[in-house]
Amino acid sequence: MYCNLFFLCYNVGENLKKSTDILLFLDKKFVKEIDKMKKPLLSEMTLREKINQMIILAQWDLRKRFENGEDYKVDRPEEEQIEMLKKGQFGSLYAQYGTIVKGRATDLLDSESDERCSSTEFADMINWEASFLKIPPLVGGDSESSGAGAMHYDLTSVVSPLAMGATDDEDLVFEVGAAIARELRCTGVNWRWSPVVDITNRFSKGCGVLRVFTDMDVEKQSRLAIAMIKGMQSEGVAATAKHFPGNDPYEYRDSHFCPNTISVSKEEWWEKQGKIFQNVIDAGVYAIMPSHKSFPAIDDSTINGKPRPTTVSKKILTDLLKNEMGFEGVIITDGLTMAGVSSVLPWDDIIVESVKAGCDVLLCASPYDADTIEKAVLDGRIEEARIDDACQRILNMKEKLGMFEDGYVNVKYKAEDVRDETARISLEVARKAVTLVRDRNNLLPLDKNKIKKVSIIVSTHNEMFNTTTIPVLKEMFEARGIEVYTQRRLNNGMELEKIANDSDLIIYAAMVKGHMPKGASALVEKECETYFHAFKYGKEKTIGMSCGSPYLEHDIMDGADAFVNLYGTSPALLQAFVEGIFGEIPFVGKSPANLKPPKFVYED
């Protein structure tokens, strides 16, 4: 269903009681576009209408509800959903991963593909919700990994930003950004909370190095981030640089679980992290997401004896970001339920203080938090001018996206129209990205005529890597007439000895990345124990490979004489890996991550 529901007369939505009625109504082409929706004027909006533009409605709040004070959620009837939408008139809809159509919302998806919805189903759901809103909503989500994210089985899983960094090709990154945006426009999403422009390193947990284009190269991070931003915004999807004011190269803690700090001086910050953010601001990024880190060099005040998080710091968000750096776009908070801020202040104070600090859209705020904001304005804790500033920025971004123009549609493409081109671009990037880190004994390229059986030993804390990624890799070898054996972990040396005797090639395939597992970017417990036994037999015919953290080559697989970094799990990267080890393509990727041992990382 690809009609423009944003031009559906609001009264039509009021008279139709069922979403099926709306879809039938549209299918019969009874919709007439209303006159061009003009950009609303603040002078014509009530205080509550302006506040509502700051609220992003999450699917779990719309489709579930607490009942009888119990800590569980039940399905919200459709008539209640319609009432919430019409009353709330929210400025944005949260198109987060894990959201399923047909009236239910879940947490993160498991490995079963039938849990995912098609892009068309999701677009229908978003359009139905939007039909009850007088002002067209922004539809946002992370979608960092690809246009597919975790939601849609009919869209493309593209390469990671770190893989793009291995190509160091701005034109290709622009193309990827545009391709991702086109796929997002299949689903109704027009606001992507990406790219990540933090400076990271092997110890960074919350950000995770796969989410950036490079770990510590300011110039490359700026160039490639700008290319991604311009590519996305060329296709009508607002980009979001995050997480301002960035990362501390010496901070290893994760804001999801505890408060943390940027410890550098303002001068040092300007030389690196500040320069990146200034570059993307000057390049025209539409939105910025701040972190919850404190930054004492700019704001050394405390709250309840704890350093003040950026999210609730006027000195950082208004004085520095908006005034000194000249950012005129939208500031959207990171998740307000994260411990980096939620362990510092009570919930209502988080809502009020984040607005006062300069935040324009509140991620993870509930529909009822508009009451809290309104009350704070009426009793003088928040100036109405701050609400006006936030609302105006949101309306300005909608205008930049063309949302008040005649004929604007939020669903611009069908999946079948764009995904082949996305896959082509992704494969081109992958072939230039996959990196041969070392080949001490010149094992590569392999003679595929001599490889009859490959054994793949899998190490990961993410079950989907074992059940979905490894089978794709297996198929690529089998397509070349090669028998493949896979095994999760090694238990003892005897197992490896038998594998080595039966195999022409052994591959140790590992994947860890940010939040896989949570709290660490390393193989631990049983996954780590594999490497007590690894490389004792068959070392001369062994390749180590990482589909996640590029630092595994040093951290746990230094015993592998041949090692390849893939920077992700997309089929394109797997294909490029197999092509590369057989010499079908050259390995040309250059490591975008500093692979020096930890002692030497900060020497440059």
pLDDT band at 72 (very low <50, low <70, confident <90, very high): low
Query: Averaged over 528-534, what is the pLDDT?
Result: 93
Tell me the average pLDDT of the chain.
87
Predicted confidence (pLDDT) at residue 16 exceeds the cutoff of 60: no
Task: Tell me the CATH architecture of domain 435-588.
Answer: 3-Layer(aba) Sandwich (3.40)
User: Is the separation of the CB atoms in 255 and 293 below 8 Å?
Assistant: yes
Q: Check residue 179 and give its pLDDT.
A: 96
Query: Averaged over 93-112, what is the pLDDT?
Result: 52
Q: Which range among 89-98, 125-134, 297-306, 579-588 shows the weakest confidence by mean pLDDT? A: 89-98
User: Is the separation of the CB atoms in 261 and 293 below 8 Å?
Assistant: yes
Q: Check residue 56 and give its pLDDT.
A: 96
Q: Check residue 63 and give its pLDDT.
A: 83
Query: Averaged over 427-434, what is the pLDDT?
Result: 98
- Residue 511 host element (H or E): strand 505-511
Query: Averaged over 554-567, what is the pLDDT?
Result: 96
Question: How many angstroms separate the CA atoms of 483 and 13, rounded?
Answer: 58
| Boundaries of every domain in the chain | 435-588
Percent of the chain with pLDDT over 70: 86
Predicted confidence (pLDDT) at residue 154 exceeds the cutoff of 50: yes
Q: Check residue 8 and give its pLDDT.
A: 37
Predicted confidence (pLDDT) at residue 404 exceeds the cutoff of 80: yes
pLDDT band at 205 (very low <50, low <70, confident <90, very high): low
Q: Which range among 104-108, 342-346, 425-429 shows the weakest confidence by mean pLDDT? A: 104-108
Question: How many angstroms separate the CA atoms of 208 and 226, rounded?
Answer: 20
* Both structure tokens of 360: 């324009």
Q: Is 29 exposed, middle or buried (0-12, 13-18, 19+ CB in 10 A)?
A: exposed
Q: Check residue 202 and give its pLDDT.
A: 76
pLDDT band at 31 (very low <50, low <70, confident <90, very high): very low
pLDDT band at 201 (very low <50, low <70, confident <90, very high): confident
Q: With the C-alpha atoms ordered 112, 114, 115, 116, is the resulting torsion angle positive or negative?
A: positive
* Both structure tokens of 201: 């390193």
Q: Check residue 73 and give its pLDDT.
A: 66
pLDDT band at 95 (very low <50, low <70, confident <90, very high): confident
Within a 10 A sphere around the Cβ of 202, how many other Cβ atoms?
22
Predicted confidence (pLDDT) at residue 385 exceeds the cutoff of 50: yes
Q: What residues does 194 pair with on adjacent strands?
A: none
- Tell me the one-letter amino acid at 331: I
pLDDT band at 429 (very low <50, low <70, confident <90, very high): very high
Q: Which range among 199-203, 518-522, 534-538 shows the weakest confidence by mean pLDDT? A: 518-522
Predicted confidence (pLDDT) at residue 443 exceeds the cutoff of 70: yes
Question: How many angstroms separate the CA atoms of 478 and 472, rounded?
Answer: 10
Query: Averaged over 557-568, what is the pLDDT?
Result: 96
Query: Checking phi first, is residue 348 left (phi over 0); if not, alpha (psi -120 to 50) or beta?
Result: alpha
Predicted confidence (pLDDT) at residue 515 exceeds the cutoff of 60: yes
Q: Check residue 599 and give its pLDDT.
A: 67
Query: Averaged over 451-455, what is the pLDDT?
Result: 98
The three state secondary structure string of 324-345 is: HCCCCCEEECCCCCCHHHHCCC
Tell me the per-residue pLDDT of 571-601, one tens digit each, with 9 for 90 and over: 999 999 999 999 999 999 999 998 987 765 5
Phi, psi of 140 (to 5 degrees): -125, 160
CA neighbor of 458 nearest in space, from 445, 446, 474, 444:
474
- Tell me the one-letter amino acid at 85: L
Stated pTM of the model: 0.90
Query: Averaged over 313-327, what is the pLDDT?
Result: 98
Question: How many angstroms separate the CA atoms of 408 and 402, rounded?
Answer: 7
Q: What residues does 92 pair with on adjacent strands?
A: 56, 138
Query: Averaged over 151-155, what is the pLDDT?
Result: 78
**b/e map 113-122, b = 16+ CB within 10 Å:** eeebbbbbbb
Question: How many angstroms separate the CA atoms of 329 and 420, rounded?
Answer: 33
Q: Which range among 103-107, 384-388, 551-555 shows the weakest confidence by mean pLDDT? A: 103-107
